[in-house]
Amino acid sequence: MYKAVLFDMDGTVLDTLGDLADSMNYSLRHFGMPERDAREMKTFLGKGPAHFVNCSVPEGTTEELRRRVRDFYEEYYDEHCQIKTGPYPGISELMERLKGRGLKLAVISNKQEPAVRVLAQRYFPGLLELAVGTGPSIPCKPDPSAVLSAMERMGVTAEESVYVGDMDVDLNTAKNAGIDCIGVAWGFMGREKLENLGAHVVADTAEDLGDIILGEKRP
């Protein structure tokens, strides 16, 4: 049985699309740029704030202006990340179930570190060993550095750990870290796309995910 579960955040444990889209559109308006539809922005997510900004600003935007938009967006989002955001159904209960069975839990996200810490504390108080986001010294997934560091800090091996996520970047992160991966069907990509990308195990509900992690259901 696994001893540690490392979760992605956006699209896996928290539905953050509304606040991400609103914050990006506010930032685009601030710089006189056209807004984007939330459904379109959904396809920009998962690879960190820089990628999200680069995909959202108009083609031809200078690197200097992209940097200014990113700085403005990150500051605004850090202060407005809890308006529409909330856990997916059953996630809090899942974490309590896993923690009650002695598993160590962590969140490893490509979201900037301040927002990750705020959201983890608000929605999952007392449930996580670690909540890690990106920053100057923390590279974005699929670089496995944050995952490997988290496992070391929690005192678990690759064989004792599983990564849970909703996108291709999560599959690649787990592969690069040498650990098992479970995809979730309710996130930003969905079951079909995950399976087409090579996901061997995909959970349809939080309860289903718990059963798979605990070995109470064959994937």
Q: Which two tokens stand for residue 42?
A: 């959904």
Instruction: Look at residue 159 and tell me if it is in a domain.
Output: yes
Q: Identify whether residues 73 and 157 lie together within a single domain.
A: no
Q: Identify whether residues 72 and 106 lie together within a single domain.
A: no
At 41-62, the pLDDT tens digits run: 999 998 999 999 999 999 999 9
Q: Identify whether residues 41 and 121 lie together within a single domain.
A: no
Q: Identify whether residues 38 and 145 lie together within a single domain.
A: no
Q: Identify whether residues 94 and 178 lie together within a single domain.
A: yes
The per-residue pLDDT for 138 is: 84
CA distance 176 to 142: 7
CA distance 189 to 195: 10
Q: Identify whether residues 27 and 61 lie together within a single domain.
A: yes
Q: To which residue do tokens 């064989």 refer?
A: 159
Q: Which two tokens stand for residue 70?
A: 């990113």
Q: In sequence order, what are the beta bridge partners of 130?
A: 106
At 157-207, the pLDDT tens digits run: 999 999 999 999 999 999 999 999 999 999 999 999 999 999 999 999 999
- Residue 31's domain comprises 17-79
Residue 171 falls in which region: left (phi positive, over 0), alpha (psi -120 to 50) or beta? alpha
CA distance 188 to 42: 7
Instruction: Look at residue 218 and tell me if it is in a domain.
Output: no
DSSP 109-134: EEEEHHHHHHHHHHHSTTT-SEEEEE
Q: Identify whether residues 38 and 110 lie together within a single domain.
A: no
Supply the CATH number for residue 156's domain: 3.40.50.1000
Supply the CATH number for residue 66's domain: 1.10.150
Nearest to 76 by CA among 28, 38, 42, 132: 28
pTM above 0.75, yes or no: yes
| Number of structural domains the chain divides into | 2
The per-residue pLDDT for 219 is: 65
Q: Identify whether residues 74 and 106 lie together within a single domain.
A: no
Task: Name the pLDDT band for 145 (thresholds 50, 70, 90).
Answer: very high
Three-state secondary structure call for residue 139: coil
Q: Identify whether residues 158 and 171 lie together within a single domain.
A: yes
Instruction: Look at residue 35 and tell me if it is in a domain.
Output: yes
Instruction: Work out the burial of residue 99: count CB atoms within 10 Å of its CB; fewer than 13 is exposed, 13-18 middle, 19 or more buried.
Output: middle
Q: Identify whether residues 63 and 107 lie together within a single domain.
A: no
Q: Identify whether residues 175 and 164 lie together within a single domain.
A: yes
Residue 172 sits at the vertex; the CA angle it makes with 147 and 76, to the nearest 5 degrees, is 65
Buried b (16+ CB within 10 A) or exposed e, 179-211: bbbbbbbbbbbebebbeeeebebbbeebebbbb
- Domain edge (last residue) among 33, 57, 79: 79
Nearest to 167 by CA among 110, 95, 91, 114: 110
- Domain edge (last residue) among 26, 48, 79: 79
CB 110 within 8 A of CB 11: no
Q: Identify whether residues 163 and 100 lie together within a single domain.
A: yes
